[in-house]
Amino acid sequence: RLILADAISYAEEEFKPDFIFDIATLTGACRVSFGEEYAAFLTNDPRLDEILNRASKISGDKIWPLPLDESYRENIKSEFADINNVSADKNAGTIIGAVFLKDFVRKAAWA
């Protein structure tokens, strides 16, 4: 997660993109939930939700949105740093990973 966070931050600062897409296997939680039929995605922008769902219908690749809900931030609080890159809670690993990465996206629409 730390390398991906650095890459997102660097890409946004250097290239100033309108959109950032990261395709990552941060946890095995999605595969446990969806098997191999669906891929989960999270986004900070409703436009990307719409674009990705449209692309999914056209391509036939099945996707499902997960909530990028700030209530999960509690799981990455740290006594020693701004945030922790892992959670002691083994639940909601995909969402918690995305909440962590979201902190490294400043302006771009991200999924």
pLDDT, tens digit, 9 for 90 and up, residues 50-72:
999 999 999 999 999 999 999 99
Residue 3: enclosing H or E segment and its boundaries?
helix 2-15
> Where in the chain are the domains?
2-110
What is the sign of the dihedral through the CA atoms of 70, 82, 91 and 26? Answer: positive
- pTM check: above 0.85: yes
Please report where in the chains the tokens 């946890």 appear, as a residue: 27
To the nearest whole percent, how much of the chain has pLDDT over 90? 87
pLDDT for residue 88 = 86
Predicted confidence (pLDDT) at residue 26 exceeds the cutoff of 80: no
Residue 100: enclosing H or E segment and its boundaries?
helix 93-102
The Cα-based distances of 93 to 1, 13, 37, 65, 104 in angstroms read 12, 27, 19, 15, 18
